[in-house]
Amino acid sequence: MIGTVLAGGKSRRFGRNKAVELFEGERLIERQVRTLRSLFPEVMVVSNTPEFFLDLNVTVVQDLIPGRGPLGGIYTGLLLAQGDSIFVSACDMPFLQLPVIRRMLDLFSGHDVVVPRLGTYLEPLHGIYSPRCVPYIKQMLDREELQVIRFFPSLRVAYLDEQELRELDPAGLSFFNINTPEDLERAREVLSVERQGEV
């Protein structure tokens, strides 16, 4: 399985490319790559601006169908993984939790997709996808239907449910994402509080 970071967004709300924004002395994308390297033998970055990430010493690929959002990024990752499954995360999630990802890997056996589920809300940008997803995603892209979860009913999906998720990630940080400069400041505050709790 390949750890895959989606870094193809336009960062409209942030105002600049947030993947290269500094957080705790490293770029957000570097933080993602470092975390995923601890679990996966290979890490891939999918981006519309690959030139920003060539120094990461990972596989950097360009969106095969630009402008199709995260669904296009997942499609690119799966095609270029050449038959491997991929774990996908968005580049703006600075607090990935290894116990959560490990549990998702446990759930993946016998399934095509694994995603966290909070109540009725699914988190598809923190998910595992098998190559069997490719034709269904391609059909959606051809129709310009870009909501990731729309193809789930066609496949075998396992869910990491809220109760177990809260046991693995009590602070609920896994899906904290940074859309604006204010979110980045809030992430720094969250990290400061977390560190005080460890003292």
pLDDT score, position 20: 87
This prediction has a pTM of 0.92
Residue 167 gets the label, from left (phi > 0), alpha (psi -120 to 50) or beta, of alpha
pLDDT score, position 199: 38
On the question of pLDDT at 4 being above 80, the answer is yes
pLDDT bin (cut points 50, 70, 90) of residue 36 is very high
Short-list 20, 146, 181, 158, CA closest to 74: 146
On the question of pLDDT at 11 being above 80, the answer is no
Residue range 126-143, pLDDT digits in tens: 999 999 999 999 999 999
pLDDT score, position 172: 87
**Stronger pLDDT, 10 or 155, i.e. the higher one:** 155
Beta strands 22-23; 26-27: pairing state: antiparallel
What lies within 8 Å, CB to CB, of 146 at 6+ separation is 68, 69, 70, 71, 72, 140
pLDDT score, position 60: 94
Q: Domains plus CATH for the chain? A: 2-198 (3.90.550.10)
Whole-number average pLDDT of the chain: 91
Beta strands 59-62; 157-161: pairing state: unpaired
Beta strands 113-118; 126-129: pairing state: antiparallel
What whole-number distance in Å separates Cα of residue 121 and Cα of residue 144? Answer: 22
